[in-house]
């Protein structure tokens, strides 16, 4: 739609400027569903900073017997009914506070006036001793989220922003029959984020203004679950928490399937019988610098390679197997173990259901895990059952596909878990509330996790190996659960990218005797713990091939792979699988162990054994 000259009140809006505004904001306007009749008014109000909602609406308060405000609502105060087809009926709402969740406590401690404002906005009692804790507890009924998509910048830029609307915007209540829409909007005019309000129904004078808090969700059970922060609904009585495996369509969602060979009769290649140097093509600098075994040589032409070792996701297995004699460092449909939500599904195969008495889930080595997209009602029911049994209810919320603990949060607040899912697809895992701790001489008893490099040479028959040297990551501060869930240095161990000044480095050779000494009172020996870890890793791959693609991995004679497995131990030494990663960071491995890359290539491609690699194929 082109605009020439459009009247808005007494102001003549330039058609060229308006068209430029619409072009600049088109994707936002269309994705948010802003009707075109509001574009001229929106442009004018943004340009002139017109906040005129107060001319049409007012906030009414409900008080209890003690005179304290216990509820607010917004009503139409205009003398005339408001019409949804009136092009002036779009309004700007300001934001009281914009923040990132992990920063909120530190920021509020420095902004006492904001603490008072948010306390009043959230109807927190003036007698509350710790208003910051109360704000963090209550904010999930008031906050909203957006992420600024950028092609540049670092991974932390993908951390979502959360915001709380001003007093007017925060007072608008929910209704299934809403009469307005509210959406966040980034104005390129001044670079500021606003909330837009526009009418979707005619509203009479004195009528309440309402919005659908879960707009766009039509499934009644999902709507009910997402509204729990406001309704406090109990789902434990009628929603079954037992988990069932999703259908094949779920495994295909949002991905391009691999092309597969027509049959299993493609040529099998034995690189040890080439009678020449094996050509390796790689886009990984660490491989280029540390693969020194003379039986391999690097080539720049991919077509000349015998081995392709790449970070890029590979899809064309049909061409690889039928038209080349090359190997690739990936397996078809390995996404089922590298994406967090699918990994949990894979690991639950052949396991017992959740025990209805103890609420223990299986296998024991997998933290209880729910997908917050399609299992939210089941999770809420399970959470509420645990609450009724007075079981620990600390959880960790993780994005499907982000690393380095980005947008990952520890909480026991059910409302927080429900709302956190709005910033992108997430799983929620039972937090290991009683982890095995390591005594850091400079910090005290801290959490730690362990990373193993796993080598997959074959799926059928299963040939899987573990690199003998493993890596350790430590928290910087002593572990506790004393309402400090937003203290990254207590609950997380990835310190390479933040708080690196306190990063503890220790080799596995140094760790093992310290572990055995520190865990004497638990009667734990590292050799026994490691056997359980190897058994767990073996079971993951066994379960990954129980179903055909796309629900499982596919055996391929031309595939080899290296994965990282991250795990933690509880106070009894029980290992818990945290995640698996394709093509992990191997910088420390190459730095500490000069033969690492040679060991990997010889195991995967020459089927050679050596003292640095442990065969766990029969664990």
- Quote the distance between the C-alpha of residue 65 and its chain's center: 44
* Rounded (10°) CA dihedral 24, 30, 35, 36: 40
- CA-nearest of 337, 349, 292, 609 to 466 is 609
Predicted pLDDT at 609: 87
The distance from CA 538 to its chain's CA centroid, rounded to whole angstroms, is 26
CA 91 from chain centre, in angstroms, equals 33
HSE-up of 163 (CA within 13 Å, CB side)? Answer: 21
Written as six digits, the tokens of 584 are: 């992990």
If we measure between CA atoms, which residue out of 566, 565, 442 comes closest to residue 504? 442
Owner of token pair 């009136």: 86
Give which of 113, 100, 98 is closest to 166, Cα–Cα: 98
Query: How far apart, in whole angstroms, are the C-alpha atoms of residue 6 and residue 515?
Result: 75
363/535 Cα distance (integer angstroms)? 12
In this prediction, residue 159 has a pLDDT band, given cuts at 50, 70 and 90, of confident
pLDDT computed for residue 503 by the predictor: 74
Which residues on neighbouring strands pair with residue 62, listed in sequence order?
71
Could you say which DSSP state residue 355 is in? P
Determine the Cα–Cα distance for residues 129 and 125; give it in Å rounded to an integer. 9
CA distances from 526 to 103, 132, 404 (A): 38, 43, 27
Cβ–Cβ under 8 Å, residues 608 and 560: no
Rg (the chain; Cα; Å):
28
* Reported confidence tier of residue 149, pLDDT bands at 50, 70, 90: low
pLDDT of residue 462: 96
Of the chain, the percentage scoring pLDDT greater than 90 comes to 81
Has residue 1 got a pLDDT over 50?
A: no
The answer on pLDDT for 142 being more than 80 is yes
Domain boundary assignment for the chain: 5-219, 271-328
Tell me how far apart the alpha carbons of residues 193 and 208 are, in angstroms, rounded to a whole number. Answer: 26
Mean pLDDT of the chain: 92
Q: Which CATH number fits domain 5-219: 2.40.50.110, 2.60.40.1840, 2.170.270.10, 3.90.550.10?
A: 2.170.270.10
Residue 423 has pLDDT above 70, yes or no: yes
Confidence of residue 3 (pLDDT cuts 50, 70, 90): very low
pLDDT at 157 (0 to 100) = 63
Mean per-residue pLDDT for 9-14?
Answer: 44
Task: Check residue 253 and give its pLDDT.
Answer: 85
**pLDDT for residue 9 is more than 80:** no
CA–CA gap between residue 116 and residue 108 (Å, rounded): 10
Q: List CB contacts of 210: < 8 A, sequence separation 6 or more.
A: 172, 173, 174, 175, 177, 178, 179, 180
Question: DSSP 3-state assignment of 567?
Answer: strand
Alpha-carbon distance of 516 to 218, in angstroms, equals 55
Apex 541 CA angle, 394 and 354, nearest 5: 40
Whole-number pLDDT of residue 616? 97
pLDDT value at position 150? 58
> How do residues 491-501 score in pLDDT, each as one tens digit?
888 866 566 56
- How much is the pTM? 0.92
The whole-angstrom separation of Cα 269 and Cα 328 is 12
Closest CA to 487 of 103, 228, 223, 218: 103
Q: Of 415, 373, 377, give the one whose Cα is nearest residue 398.
A: 373
Helix (H, G, I), strand (E, B) or coil at 433: coil
pLDDT confidence tier of residue 102, bands split at 50, 70 and 90: confident
Yes or no: say if 423 and 407 are a contact pair by the CB < 8 Å rule: yes
- Residue 482: its pLDDT value, please? 84
In eight-state DSSP terms, residue 227 is T
| E strand segments, 240-353 | 278-282, 296-298, 307-309, 327-328
Q: How large is the average pLDDT for residues 27-46?
A: 96
Residues 6+ apart with CB under 8 A from 505: none
Contacts of 522 (CB under 8 A, 6+ apart): 436, 571, 572, 573
Confidence of residue 11 (pLDDT cuts 50, 70, 90): very low
Task: Evaluate whether 504 touches 488 at the Cβ level (below 8 Å).
Answer: no
CB contact set of 287 (below 8 Å; sequence gap of 6+): 280, 309, 597
Per-residue pLDDT of 248-307, as tens digits, reads 999 988 788 899 999 889 999 999 999 999 999 999 999 999 999 999 999 999 999 999
151 within 8 A of 164, measured Cβ to Cβ:
no
The pair of structure tokens assigned to 323 is 């038209």
φ/ψ of 575, rounded to 5, equals -75, 145
Measure the CA–CA gap between 4 and 8, rounded to whole angstroms: 13
Using CA atoms, how far apart are residues 360 and 341, in angstroms rounded to an integer?
19
pLDDT tens track for 233-250 = 999 999 999 999 999 999
- The number of residues in the chain equals 619
User: Residue 140: is its pLDDT beyond 70?
Assistant: yes
Helices vs. strands in the chain: H and E counts, helices first? 20, 28
Per-residue model confidence as pLDDT tens digits over 321-366: 999 999 999 999 999 999 999 999 999 999 999 999 999 999 999 9
Per-residue DSSP letters for 52-100? -GGGTEEEEEEE-TTS-EEEEEEEE-SSS-B-TT-TT-EEEE-EEEEE-
Average confidence (pLDDT) over 543-564: 96
What is the separation, in whole angstroms, between the first and last Cα of the chain? 66
Q: How far apart are CA 313 and CA 338, in angstroms?
A: 12
Write down the pLDDT at residue 4: 41
Would you call 238 exposed, middle or buried from its count of C-beta atoms within 10 A (0-12, 13-18, 19+)? Answer: exposed
- Cα separation of 241 and 354, whole Å? 8
Nearest to 327 by CA among 310, 307, 354, 311: 307
Alpha-carbon span 341 to 310, nearest angstrom: 24
Contacts of 559 (CB under 8 A, 6+ apart): 317, 327, 328, 329, 330, 331, 332
Phi, psi of 146, rounded to the nearest 5 degrees: -155, 160
pLDDT value of position 324: 96
Structure tokens at 454: 């796993």
Task: Report the pLDDT averaged over residues 122-129.
Answer: 90
User: Within 13 Å of residue 513, how many CA atoms lie on the same side as its CB?
Assistant: 3
Q: What is the DSSP string of 139-203?
A: GGGTEEEE----SSS-GGGGSPEEEEE-HHHHTPEE-TT-SEEEEEEE-TTTS-EEEEEEESS-B
């Amino acid at each position: 739609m082109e605009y020439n000259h459009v009247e808005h009140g007494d102001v003549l809006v330039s058609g060229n400027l308006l068209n430029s505004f619409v072009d600049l904001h088109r994707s936002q306007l269309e994705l948010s569903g802003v009707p075109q009749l509001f574009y001229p008014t929106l442009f004018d109000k943004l340009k002139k900073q017109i906040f005129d909602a107060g001319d049409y609406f007012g906030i009414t308060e409900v008080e209890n017997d003690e005179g304290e405000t216990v509820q607010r609502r917004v009503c139409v105060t205009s003398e005339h009914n408001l019409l949804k087809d009136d092009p002036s009926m779009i309004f700007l709402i300001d934001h009281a506070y914009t923040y990132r969740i992990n920063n909120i406590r530190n920021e509020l401690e420095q902004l006492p006036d904001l603490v008072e404002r948010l306390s009043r906005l959230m109807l927190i009692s003036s007698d509350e001793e710790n208003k910051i804790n109360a704000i963090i507890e209550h904010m999930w009924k008031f906050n909203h989220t957006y992420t600024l998509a950028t092609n540049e910048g670092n991974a932390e830029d993908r951390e979502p922003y959360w915001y709380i609307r001003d007093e007017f915007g925060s007072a608008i209540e929910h209704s299934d029959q809403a009469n307005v829409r509210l959406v966040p909007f980034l104005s390129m005019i001044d670079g500021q984020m606003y909330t837009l309000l526009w009418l979707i129904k005619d509203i009479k004078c004195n009528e309440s203004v309402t919005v659908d808090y879960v707009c766009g969700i039509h499934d009644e059970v999902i709507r009910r679950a997402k509204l729990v922060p406001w309704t406090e609904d109990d789902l434990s009585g009628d929603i079954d928490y037992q988990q069932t495996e999703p259908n094949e369509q779920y495994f295909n969602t949002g991905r391009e399937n691999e092309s597969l060979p027509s049959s299993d009769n493609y040529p099998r290649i034995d690189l040890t019988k080439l009678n020449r140097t094996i050509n390796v093509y790689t886009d990984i600098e660490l491989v280029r610098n540390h693969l020194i075994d003379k039986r391999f040589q690097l080539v720049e032409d991919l077509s000349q390679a015998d081995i392709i070792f790449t970070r890029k996701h590979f899809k064309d297995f049909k061409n690889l197997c039928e038209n080349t004699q090359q190997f690739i460092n990936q397996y078809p449909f390995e996404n089922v173990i590298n994406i967090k939500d699918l990994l949990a599904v894979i690991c639950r195969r052949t396991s017992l259901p959740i025990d209805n008495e103890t609420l223990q889930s299986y296998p024991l080595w997998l933290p209880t895990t729910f997908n917050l997209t399609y299992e939210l009602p089941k999770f809420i029911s399970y959470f509420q059952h645990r609450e009724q049994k007075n079981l620990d209810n600390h959880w960790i919320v993780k994005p499907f596909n982000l690393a380095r603990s980005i947008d990952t949060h520890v909480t026991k607040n059910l409302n927080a878990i429900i709302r956190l899912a709005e910033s992108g697809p997430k799983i929620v895992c039972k937090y290991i509330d009683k982890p095995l701790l390591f005594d850091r001489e400079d910090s005290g008893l801290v959490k730690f996790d362990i990373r193993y490099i796993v080598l997959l040479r074959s799926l059928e028959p299963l040939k899987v190996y573990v690199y003998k040297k493993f890596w350790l990551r430590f928290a910087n501060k002593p572990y506790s659960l004393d309402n400090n869930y937003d203290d990254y240095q207590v609950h997380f161990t990835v310190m390479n990218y933040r708080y690196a000044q306190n990063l503890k480095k220790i080799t596995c050779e140094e760790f093992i005797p310290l572990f055995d000494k520190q865990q004497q009172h638990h009667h734990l020996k590292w050799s026994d713990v490691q056997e359980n870890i190897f058994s767990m890793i073996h079971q993951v791959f066994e379960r990954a091939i129980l179903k055909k693609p796309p629900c499982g991995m596919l055996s391929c004679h031309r595939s080899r792979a290296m994965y990282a497995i991250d795990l933690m131990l509880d106070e009894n030494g029980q290992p818990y699988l945290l995640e698996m990663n394709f093509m992990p960071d191997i910088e420390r491995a190459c730095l500490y162990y000069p033969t690492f890359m040679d060991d990997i290539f010889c195991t995967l491609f020459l089927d050679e054994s050596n003292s640095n690699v442990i065969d766990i194929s029969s664990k």
